[in-house]
Amino acid sequence: MTRHSDDLALALRLADTADRISSEHFRAQDLRIDTKPDRSFVTEADLAVERALRDLIAAERPGDGILGEEYGTEGDATRQWILDPIDGTANYLRGVPVWGTLIALAVDGVPVVGVVSSPALGRRWWASTGEGAWTADETTGEPRRLQVSGVSELEHASLSFQSIAQWDDAGYLDKLIALTRAVWRDRAYGDMWSYMLLAEGVLDAVGEFDVKTYDLAALIPIVQEAGGMFTSVDGTPGPGNGSSLASNGHLHPALLAALA
């Protein structure tokens, strides 16, 4: 038992609830889709998942605060649950299976528990500070500990850059192109999956712009407990800086230098 064992157990139960709701709506012909003021999409599944998770947290941890993508912030931020009910909503509404629910607990602003659950892929990843990062699939159900890769040179690295439009809008397109020429392989796997592939040692680096705290908080403990590093593109730690740069750690200085 560790300091956050009970919190991780709760986060996993929250993920079970989220999976049931999101799976019921996935690829449903009558799925209701709306456009938010920022022109991003929200589905009835996003809203239903977040409501259910908020209700469970209020019942189990009534003193904790909550930050969610769809319903904002409430309560104390000292211990704050951070929720993205469906990360990859655009994939979800088109029937692409790369999406998942992100659940984090941050203490004094530092994410200490993270769960990523992707029922359409049949996968789940989780971590708590000091206890390693783990994954399991629905076929075996057996947990497997995660470890980032040992790649130490950019020329041998596999990079996921998420979206050309993101980098272009942020004014980093030229740097992205230069970086793709420096690495062995580049792809845009997208959303939470890129970071989980990094934690598994399949990818070596992930960079992204136009991201919010709820997009990143659950990913940070998983990447870090797998042995990786997670900062913004300018090297600032934490999930609230508007960009992300995650790596196996070995490559982080070279990546920061390439993007400076």
The phi and psi torsions of 126 (rounded to 5 degrees) equal -155, 160
Query: Cα 178 vs. chain centroid, distance in angstroms?
Result: 26
For residue 4, which of 110, 105, 147 has the smallest C-alpha distance? 105
Query: Was 234 annotated as part of a binding site?
Result: no
Is residue 100 helix, strand or coil?
strand
Query: Was 55 annotated as part of a binding site?
Result: no
Helix (H) or strand (E) holding 86: strand 79-87
What are the structure tokens assigned to 229, written together?
């590093």
Query: Was 70 annotated as part of a binding site?
Result: no
In whole angstroms, give the CA distance from residue 99 to residue 88.
5
Find the Cα–Cα–Cα–Cα dihedral 71, 87, 207, 156, rounded to 10°.
160
What are the structure tokens assigned to 141, written together?
């159900």
Query: Was 64 annotated as part of a binding site?
Result: no
In whole angstroms, give the CA distance from residue 223 to residue 228.
5
Please report the beta strands in 148-202, taking only residues with DSSP state E, as ranges in sequence order: 158-160, 185-187
Helix (H) or strand (E) holding 214: helix 213-216
Query: Cα 35 vs. chain centroid, distance in angstroms?
Result: 22
Annotated binding-site residue numbers: 69, 84, 86-87, 215
Annotated binding-site residue numbers for Mg(2+): 69, 84, 86-87, 215
